[in-house]
A and B are shown apart, each in its own frame.
Chain A
């Protein structure tokens, strides 16, 4: 019978010896990165399905002719989420002397086009509070924020539960990455419902959601990953 990792009975520390560990040995199955990725992406798909059923799918997507901004946004979110998830989940296998996946940095740099674009619009075009309010649509933006973060919590919980089976030796870094990945994948899941195409809207609300999730990952996930 294959059993996951198990702790030896440490009730009598004074009698510790190697034989006790050997007696406790059970076959184990190696942790595989792809299993963690399947779990994270499956959770994102479940969230997207729930969002679609609850809030509906944006019209252009439902009609099979998605707007280019939706495609660009989704690609950036999926690339960032997937790359960050690979980096986070690969921490389940501890290593010294080997490079960790660093693709998430490039994906983050690409995704930064949106907040940078939003910043440019803020500086160049927005001249009044009313204009900002019109562009940001706070009521819809709050829904965007809440739903994205709700999806991110579900994805982040699944990733954290899987990571706890492994042995992450950099809990702080891994916590950041779990938050970043969950935030991006959660935003991608919600994105199928979000009808906004304005850069200033995407660059503001989505950035707040993903940034908040990354901070949340560092604060909440990191202690859960210590072992």
Chain B
């Protein structure tokens, strides 16, 4: 995932410099990513329009991408903004509450999957990141993770809980 992000980052930097070939490749990658991102959020019949709207936003706001940062969090933030804007329009038309819909929306698991997990893990305390890597990614048991890290089993559980909660907050903080 990190290498995919790095590739996209390089393509965007080239696009900002005016490289049309890189930009075409970048937009096709974004189109595929956004289609997956919106698939579980809106009805299939609306996905193409929302992807197009988002790609136009990417185009208009491409100067706002900071080349020193990862690309997918930037794309996800724009996709999320357009998605909420889309929901606002839909629910305004239907005269129903947007807040309920947002709260009922699925968790950002696609974002979590698609963003660089490593980047998120780097932003939480090392003991939390270490046990999340062992238990949630590598598949070790709590006891095995405790042995490997020198943390008690209860501390491993607490660190996993706190780390995941912190990562969720980071993803939602846009």
Chain A residues with a Cβ under 8 A of chain B: 4-8, 10, 16, 18-19, 21-31, 92-100, 165-167, 169-170, 227
- B55 contacts partner chain A, Cβ-Cβ < 8 Å: yes
Q: List 28 A-B contacts (CB under 8 A).
A: A4-B63, A18-B31, A18-B55, A22-B20, A26-B18, A28-B16, A29-B16, A29-B63, A30-B16, A30-B63, A94-B64, A94-B77, A94-B81, A95-B69, A95-B74, A95-B174, A96-B73, A96-B76, A96-B77, A96-B80, A96-B174, A97-B119, A165-B63, A166-B63, A166-B64, A169-B78, A169-B80, A169-B81
Q: What would 16 more interface pairs be, CB under 8 Å, given A25-B20, A28-B62, A100-B173?
A: A5-B63, A18-B55, A19-B24, A21-B56, A22-B27, A23-B20, A29-B63, A94-B78, A95-B69, A96-B77, A96-B80, A97-B115, A98-B170, A165-B64, A167-B81, A227-B61
Residues of chain B within 8 A (CB-CB) of A100 are 173
Cα A97 to Cα B72 in complex, Å, equals 10
Asked if A30 contacts B24 (CB within 8 A), the reply is no
Asked if A27 contacts B119 (CB within 8 A), the reply is no
Main SS at interface, chain B: helix
- B165 contacts partner chain A, Cβ-Cβ < 8 Å: no
Chain B residues with a Cβ under 8 A of chain A: 15-18, 20, 23-24, 27-28, 31, 52, 55-57, 59-67, 69, 73-74, 76-78, 80-81, 108, 111, 115, 119-120, 123, 167, 170-174
Residues of chain B within 8 A (CB-CB) of A167 are 57, 61, 64, 77-78, 81
Residues of chain A within 8 A (CB-CB) of B66 are 30-31, 93
Main SS at interface, chain A: loop
Give chain A nearest CB distance to B13 CB in angstroms. 9
Asked if B59 contacts A24 (CB within 8 A), the reply is yes
Q: Which residue of A lies closest to B61 (CB)?
A: A167
A95 in complex: contacting residue of B15, B18, B28, B77, CB < 8 Å: B77
Asked if B80 contacts A18 (CB within 8 A), the reply is no
Cα A6 to Cα B18 in complex, Å, equals 13
Asked if A169 contacts B63 (CB within 8 A), the reply is no
Cα A4 to Cα B60 in complex, Å, equals 9
Cα A218 to Cα B136 in complex, Å, equals 41
B120 in complex: contacting residue of A92, A97, A170, CB < 8 Å: A97
Residues of chain A within 8 A (CB-CB) of B18 are 25-27
Asked if B56 contacts A10 (CB within 8 A), the reply is yes
Give chain B nearest CB distance to A36 CB in angstroms. 12
A5-B61, A18-B31, A27-B16 are contacts. A97–B55 as well, Cβ < 8 Å?
Answer: no
A8-B56, A31-B63, A95-B73 are contacts. A25–B23 as well, Cβ < 8 Å?
Answer: yes
Residues of chain A within 8 A (CB-CB) of B173 are 96-100
Residues of chain B within 8 A (CB-CB) of A16 are 52, 56
Cα A148 to Cα B76 in complex, Å, equals 39
Cα A1 to Cα B119 in complex, Å, equals 35
